Amino acid sequence: MIPLSWYLLLSAALFCVGLYGVLARRNAIAILMGVELMLNAVNINLIAFWRYLTPDRSVGLVWATFVLTVAAAEAAVGLALIISVYRSRDSVIAEELDTLKN
């Protein structure tokens, strides 16, 4: 009923929106939100392929679960880093955190 390509297009669109968010936003937390969007897009892709190619095996589900897990861990650590950086530099704008430059 629903062709596989529709899911893949949805996943591609979500990925590119997240990509734009990562590249174009100033606030570090907004960048992290873009990363979460990209990870969700990847998960949609995985589950769509699982359903359409191998619904009798558990590879797709397992992989998507691991992506979910790693995304959660990475969000936690990333936000902790952002909070810590804010404490010492009083800013979360990614452009202003340039002490390693030159």
Partner 1 sequence: MSQQIIFFILAAITLTSAVVVVTIRNLFHAALALMVSFLGVAGVYVLLEAPFLGMAQLLVYIGAISILIIFAIMMTRRLMQTNESPFNAQAVGALIGAGLALAILFIVIIRFYPMAPGDGFGQSAMVVDPATLQSSVARMGRSFVSAEAYVLPFEVASVLLLAALVGSIVIAWPHRGEEDNQ
| Touching partner 1, residues 24-83 (CB under 8 A) | 24-27, 29-30, 32-34, 36-37, 40, 43-44, 47-48, 50-53, 55-58, 61-62, 64-66, 68-77, 79-83
Which of 57, 60, 59, 29 lies closest to 44, judged by CA?
Answer: 60
CB of 37 to partner 1, least distance (A): 5
CB of 31 to partner 1, least distance (A): 10
Contact flag: residue 96 with partner 1 (CB under 8 A): no
Contact flag: residue 9 with partner 1 (CB under 8 A): yes
- 16 vs 99, beta carbon nearer partner 1: 16
For 36, residues 6+ apart whose C-beta sits below 8 A from its C-beta are 18, 71, 75
- 23 vs 100, beta carbon nearer partner 1: 23
Cα distances from 92 to residues 35, 37, 87, in angstroms, run: 16, 20, 10
Contact 94, 28 (CB under 8 A): yes
CB of 101 to partner 1, least distance (A): 14
CA 91 to chain centre: 23
- Which amino acid is it at 16? C
